Amino acid sequence: MSEQVHLPGTRSELSDDDVIGAASVLLAQRGHRQAAALMLDATAIYIERGIVHEDSASFSYDREFQDVILEVEPHLMAQPYGHLVSHIRSAFEAVGIGCGRNIEDVSVREVIPRVGANWREQLARELKGGSQSNHARKVRLEPRHPTEDGLHFTNEWEHRVYQVLKERQVTLPDNETIGIMPLGGMRVRGHTFEPDLLVTYRGHAGVIEIDGPQHKGRASADRSRERLLRHAGLKYIDRLDVEETTSRAEVEKFVTDFLTHLGR
């Protein structure tokens, strides 16, 4: 018997993120805490769509289906996920019935590492257990990534925000300035995160995340991550959407607002 899940609003109002969030909460409400935790562990969760052609003796038609993909870090793939995936699939099927979506399958995939022409150097460092620097991301091994002051950045937007923060750092008095840590590895309970920019100011710590186009559909995972960071003692977290920020003046205003909230 199919389980009916009643969701607020009309079916057309439910985005992919709404569906992912509803299924995640439903897992927790059902008592499947490990499966719900896997949703938090995932680096990304998204819904893929496809078309399958159905043939029978009397008619044929094209049917749309949707599959849920969870991307997790390679070290997490060693865990046995079979029974957890079955719980997650059941939750998504129930939510799908409630919002008129045909969600058929759930799969867990590894996050594929980004490598460049110097992949041999990256491999050698991995075999040695990795090298430690201001941050743990493998981005520092990729060619052409921005660097300044011996620090590394994933992209030009992170670098731009760093430059504005650095300029603000110089204007502040020595006994009330800010500290800036790009891509610093941070362990919280059950997770290891690498915030784009960790900033300290007036005895408080906050995080700036730089959101590019790849963050679309990840709002639910981002909120879960922010909640864990706040529980670990971070006072303020804000996100800069690069698609909505087109000028340096807007970045400067964002930094001003961020420091105002952090320093209160």
Check whether 250 has a pLDDT greater than 50. Answer: yes
Q: Are residues 35 and 84 in the same domain?
A: yes
Same domain for 176 and 82 = no
Domain count, the chain: 2
Tokens read off for 52:
């399958």
For 136-162, write each residue's pLDDT tens digit: 444 554 446 788 888 888 888 999 999
CA distance 252 to 163: 10
- On the question of pLDDT at 165 being above 80, the answer is yes
Q: Are 162 and 197 in contact (CB under 8 A)?
A: yes
User: How many CB atoms within 10 Å of residue 37?
Assistant: 16
In b/e form, how buried is each residue of 57-70, taking b as 16+ CB within 10 angstroms? eeeeeeeeebbbeb
Tokens 């991307």 identify what position? Answer: 71
Give the largest CA-CA distance in the chain.
81
Strands ordered across the beta sheet of 103-110: 44-55, 60-72, 103-110
> What average pLDDT score do residues 215-230 get?
76
CA distances from 5 to 19, 20, 29, 168 (A): 11, 14, 12, 51
Average predicted confidence (pLDDT) for the chain = 82
Per-residue pLDDT for 131 more than 50?
no
Which token pair is 233?
A: 């003692």
Mutual orientation of helices 16-29 and 219-231 as an angle, nearest 10°? 50
Q: pTM of this prediction?
A: 0.50
Element (H, E) at 63: strand 60-72
Domain extent at residue 105 = 11-110
Lookup: tokens for 181: 């840590």
- One domain, residues 49 and 153: no
Last residue of a domain, one of 75, 110, 145: 110
What CATH number does the domain containing 29 carry? Answer: 3.30.300
253 and 142 housed in the same domain: yes
Q: Report the C-alpha dihedral over residues 5, 10, 15, 20, rounded to 10 degrees.
A: -10
Residue 194 to residues 66, 85, 87, 139, 181, Cα–Cα distance (Å): 31, 26, 29, 11, 10
Residues 49, 103: contact at Cβ < 8 Å? no
> Is 1 inside any structural domain?
no
48 falls within a domain:
yes
Q: What is the mean pLDDT of residues 44-70?
A: 80
Burial (CB < 10 A; 0-12, 13-18, 19+), residue 199, is buried
Mean pLDDT for 125-130 is: 65
Q: Are residues 70 and 171 in the same domain?
A: no
Q: Say yes or no: 163 and 217 in one domain.
A: yes
